[in-house]
Structure 1
Amino acid sequence: MSPPGAAARPSAGPLHNAGISRFAEPQDTGFRRLNDSIGFDWRLSPYDVDQSIAHAAMLAAQGIISPADEAELRRGLEQVRAELTDGSFPFADGDEDIHMAIERRLTEIVGRVGGRLHTARSRNDQVATDVAMFVRAHAREAVERIGRLAGTVLEQAERHLDWPMPGYTHMQRAQPIYLSHHLLAYVWMLLRDRERFEAVVAATARMPLGAGALAGVNFDTDRRAVAAALGFSEVAANSVDAVSNRDFVLDYLGAAATCATHLSRLGAEIVLWSTEEYGFCEVSDAWASGSSIMPQKKNPDAAELLRAKAPRLVSNLVALHGVMHGLPLTYNKDMQEDKEPLFDSCDTLELCLEAATGMLDTITFRRDRLAAAAADQFLAATDIADLLVRRGVPFREAHGVVAGLVRHAIDEGKQLSELTPDELARQSPVLDDEFYALLRDGAWLETKVSEGGTSLARVREQLQQARAALRLA
């Protein structure tokens, strides 16, 4: 389904259901433009149709409307669904929102019986239910897309199991690690993201429908039957809370903001690693672009956009917190502002997850550049300090000894392995040939034997854990 075109967008004019009104004057055109939401809430239409069919079935089952009326309502709603799906739905000038548009069109199709659909229902609980169904669907979509991206990163980690690289703190080379270990950090971030979206799905479990405007309805409805038909496991216990609750939207926006922040960090590293200064990786042509003036350029624009999208999603979360933070109960028109941030975050996050998956699946890492950077012997400073600790030197003293060694090596323009035994002895009498053995062939990479560390044995354990968490084992 596509949104209503510009010609069909609602503008000033008589409401389609004006009839007898409490108001003596028509709405101002400026108010109509401010108030109408059909330009964006049309996206709720599949959920609104499903909800209306389930509601009509319940009304008939409870004897509130006749079986014949329910059959006509279902027929009309299925035609509405077909028109919305194929793009032939006739949006009208007076359609304030998608809910009124569907009811107006339904009545055009089935006649006066269309007016029975809104029995025992308010737009307040109707909208809240549609939004909960939308959030549930897109939270599940996020769970699937995050799983695919995490699986792609895991495959890259397995493919580059024993590729050494420098790990960084403060953007300075710190300690050597394996590329697999570094990539797995993103797998665990993504798994936490997936858990957050699974919690969002759980947060939509209570159906608002049946709360009416705020106080319940005057009919003996069967809310639980409707909930079961629409995939809710429970019904909202309090009608006031049901129509005023948008926690599940905030939960989605919060999970999306955190996930986008993780993608931003991933993008930022790929941007850095793609530079000639690093040269650690190259993004495939399919996920890069050139320059309008410099023919030699290959820009990792997909990674840069991952970096840039995160604040947009964070701002959507902040915007809805701003709407809700001082809002008195129950429904207020302010809550119409929940939809555009939600829709934008869903679209943006799903696109970013798709792009990150494609980019990571086709990226090329350069072993020579990674290994050369990891061979910097100063990265072994902590291991040398630990060597002294194993020989009885308190760690703080050992830290000072190694700092002196590093300073002396830099002053002399030497690598640590080029220092003579006499130079070592001047810093500490306990340093001997094991110092040189430690520096040989990057041996210090395999000294990180603690659980969760970067030694190959531990990385292999971590890969198994990640595969199990992703249900790939």
Structure 2
Amino acid sequence: MSNEKKDKALWSGRFSSTPADIMQKFSQSLDMDWRFYKHDILGSKAHAKMLGHIGILKPDELNKITKAFDEIEEEITNGEFYPTISLEDVHMNIEARLIEKLGPLGAKIHTGRSRNDQVATDYRLYMKDAIEGIQSKLNLFLNTIIEKVQEDIDVIIPGFTHLQHAQPISLGHYWMAFFWKFHRDLKRFQIAYETTDINPLGSGALAGSTLPLDREFTKNELHFSNITENSLDTVSDRDYLLEFLFAASTFVLHTSRLSEDLIIWNTSEFDFIELSNAFCTGSSMMPNKKNPDALELTRGKTSGVLSSLYDLMINTKGLSLTYNRDLQEDKRPVFYSIETVNMILDIMTPLIKGIRVKEESIAHHLNKGFLLATDVAEYLVLKGVPFRDTHSIVGRLVQYCLKENKTLETLSIEEWKTQHTAFDSDILSILSPRSAVDRRSTFGGTARTEVKRQIEKAKALLNL
């Protein structure tokens, strides 16, 4: 079934001729908004029920319209009804099919409604579903991270600043750092959802309607939490999409940073982890290669989502109120971001779950970079030496070790004492990366007691 014979737009009464073919191709939005068809039908049925509620549609008319919409949805789902670009978009195609089925009765559906508030309704309904889907996957991802924290809490690794060895940390503490980043992302998506969850239907083209439309009725029918306050704002508003794209952008920034660390850790030079074969590929020429392609693609796709945010911001930056056709271009960046965020979550959740930590290789790195230098400085602080003095003393101590090709752990008590008289035999008791981790028990620190506290708080937040 096709609408190709319906080559005259439903708005064409003002015009004595149809648009040029190239204009129809340029103007159509079906390649983007046909995915709204279920939401368009849902919104139209709610609008029809409201028209019945206020007496514009008789009960039998409402029943016929509702039944026809159910049939149209089934036709689309079964591949029996195809849209045509001469009708421009999903709204006009479905309305034309309704009129084809019901005649003049079908023409009543657009009473008190404009495509401006219709697309706003469809889009908000679609985005609510999309955000809920992302939130569900993000919750699963957060659960996977918590499992990884519990699995790796006793693994000690070097922490880094400037990609240089800095201080020892629990690997569980590292995973928790990303838990909190992604949990903030979850909250940002929730804010985007709340911004979206507002009923625009009844705003009309820009000024509302002279008809007694009941917007509270359609709000309840469509399960919106609130109603937009101003019709001019409603049809021009794309803030809810910007909110979503900002949430998506910060999410992919976090996955990109995580991917960068894991790519580095997976190198032969670091050799901290091994990735599952399921998320790596080989080289077409070099049979020895195992490339972390999933992580590299996650990092690479970040740019597209960030660009989507800027795309929509630039699109709307100079638009006068209210609706301008520029806003038809609001879908491509949003749909790209939805698809990309979903794909990244589908990849990253099992990828993180399947990482094998190589403790034997990590142990070698714990002897590099004088990871316990700060512990030595703070040891002197507890002996009454001012911190700025201890910083200088330990700096000279590191120079001595480099010159003598030694580590802090291999210095004799006599060598310690030559650097400062405050050093005593108890200095040897702090020269353990594991004990150094557990001494950092300040709130939010890397001590395993603190990581366990974070785990319990995280579980409570996720209702685990």
**Is residue 337 of structure 1 aligned with residue 329 of structure 2?**
yes
Q: Given the alignment of the two structures, is residue 233 of structure 1 paired with residue 236 of structure 2, yes or no? A: no
Give 1:281's match in structure 2, choosing from 267, 273, 285: 273
Taking the aligned partners of 2:448 and 2:462, their CA distance within structure 1 comes to 21
For 1:190 and 1:471, locate their aligned partners in 2 and report how far apart those are by CA, in whole Å: 16
Q: Distance in 2 between matches of 1:412 and 1:182?
A: 33
- Structure 2 counterpart SS, 1:166: strand
> SS state of the match for residue 132, structure 1?
helix
Q: Does 1:395 align with 2:387?
A: yes
Distance in 1 separating the partners of 2:262 and 2:231? 49
How far did residue 231 of structure 1 move? Answer: 1.0
Kindly provide the amino acid, as one letter, of the partner of residue 172 in structure 1. Answer: Q
Q: CA offsets, 1:110-163, max 9 Å, x none? A: 222111100010000001111111111111111111110010011011011200
Q: Secondary structure at the match of 1:173?
A: strand
CA contact under 8 A between 2:158 and 2:168: conserved in structure 1? yes
Partner of 1:304: 296
CA deviation map 1:271-290 (0-9, x unaligned): 11111111111111111111
Q: Does 1:253 align with 2:245?
A: yes
Question: For 1:421-432, what aligned pairs fall within 5 Å after superposition?
Answer: 421-432=413-424
Partner of 2:457: 465
In structure 2, the partner of 1:185 is 177
Out of 159, 164, 175, the position equivalent to 1:167 is 159
Q: Distance in 1 between matches of 2:378 and 2:22?
A: 72
> Which residue of structure 2 lines up, in the alignment, with residue 75 of structure 1?
67
CA distance in 1, matches of 2:222, 2:111: 18
Return the match for 2:200 from 208, 228, 236: 208
Indicate the residue corresponding to 1:404 in structure 2. 396
Q: Does residue 1:326 correspond to 2:311, yes or no?
A: no
Amino acid at match of 1:290: G
Q: 1:283 to 1:223 in 2, by over 3 A?
A: same
- Return the alpha-carbon distance in structure 1 between the equivalents of residues 366 and 458 of structure 2: 25
**Aligned equivalents of 1:187, 1:332: Cα separation in 2:** 41
Report the alpha carbon displacement of residue 339 of structure 1 after superposing the two structures with TM: 0.7
1:433 is the counterpart of 2:425: yes
CA-to-aligned-CA distance 1:232-280 (integer Å, 9 cap, x gap)? 1211111111111111000000000000111111111111111111111
Distance 1:116 1:299, change over 3 A: same
Tell me: CA distance 1:470–1:374, structure 2 relative to 1, closer, same or farther (3 Å): farther
RMSD: 1.8
Structure 1, unmatched stretches of 5+, are none
Deviations 1:281-326 (A, max 9, x none): 1111111111111111111111111111111101000000001112
User: How many residue pairs end up in the alignment?
Assistant: 464
Runs (5+) with no aligned partner, structure 2: none
Supply the distance in 1 between the matched residues of 2:44 and 2:287 (Cα, whole angstroms): 57
Cα distance between partner residues in 2 of 1:393 and 1:31: 80
Q: Which of these residues, 98, 103, 107, is aligned with residue 95 of structure 2?
A: 103
Q: Does 1:147 align with 2:174?
A: no
User: In the alignment, does 2:171 pair up with 1:199?
Assistant: no
Contact 2:30–2:85 under 8 Å retained in 1: no
Give the 5 Å matches for 1:48-87: 48-87=40-79
> Could you say what secondary structure the match of 1:176 adopts?
strand
Aligned to 2:235: 243
Which residue does the alignment assign to 1:357? 349
- What is the alpha-carbon distance in structure 1 between the residues aligned to residue 365 and residue 211 of structure 2? 73
**Residue type of the alignment partner of 1:394:** P
**TM-aligned CA distance change 1:464 to 1:439, over 3 Å:** same
- Offset of residue 181 of structure 1: 0.6
Pair 126,346 (structure 1): closer, same or farther in 2 beyond 3 Å: same
Following superposition, the deviation at residue 18 of structure 1 comes to 5.8
CA offsets 1:392-445 (integer angstroms, 9 cap, x no match): 111111111111101110111111122233432332111121222211464312
Could you tell me how far apart the structure 2 residues matched to 1:444 and 1:427 are?
Answer: 21
Task: Check if 1:373 corresponds to 2:373.
Answer: no
Over 3 Å counting, the alpha-carbon distance change for 1:440 and 1:342 in structure 2 is closer
TM-score (norm 1): 0.95
Q: Distance in 2 between matches of 1:207 and 1:93?
A: 28
Partner AA of 2:403 in structure 1: D
Name the CA distance, whole Å, in 2 between partners of 1:217 and 1:19.
Answer: 18
* TM-score, length-scaled by structure 2: 0.96
Q: What SS does the corresponding residue of 2:146 show, helix, strand or coil?
A: helix
Provide the rounded CA distance (Å) in 2 between the counterparts of 1:169 and 1:19. Answer: 62
2:62 maps to amino acid? E
CA-to-partner distance for each residue in 1:48-79, whole Å, 9 max, x for gaps? 01000010011011101222221111111101
SS in 1 for 2:284: coil
Q: Secondary structure at the match of 2:371?
A: helix
Bigger mean CA deviation after superposition, 375-384 or 297-306: 375-384
- Name the residue aligned to 1:132: 124
SS of 2:87's equivalent in the other structure is coil
For residues 410 and 147 of structure 2, the distance between their equivalents in structure 1, rounded to whole angstroms, comes to 39
Sequence identity (%) = 37
- Going from structure 1 to structure 2, the CA distance change for 1:201 and 1:179 (only over 3 Å counts) comes to same
Shift of 1:449: 1.1
Distance 1:162 1:93 in 2: 61
Match of 2:9 in 1: 17
**Measured at CA, do residues 93 and 308 of structure 1 come closer, stay the same or move farther in structure 2, by a change above 3 Å?**
closer
What is the identity, as a one-letter code, of the residue corresponding to 1:69?
Answer: E
Structure 1 segments (4+ residues) deviating >4 Å = none
Distance (Å, rounded) in 2 between the aligned partners of 1:189 and 1:377? 28
Change (3 A) 1:392 1:78: same
Cα pair 1:250 1:317 within 8 Å, conserved: yes
Q: 1:17 is aligned with what amino acid?
A: A
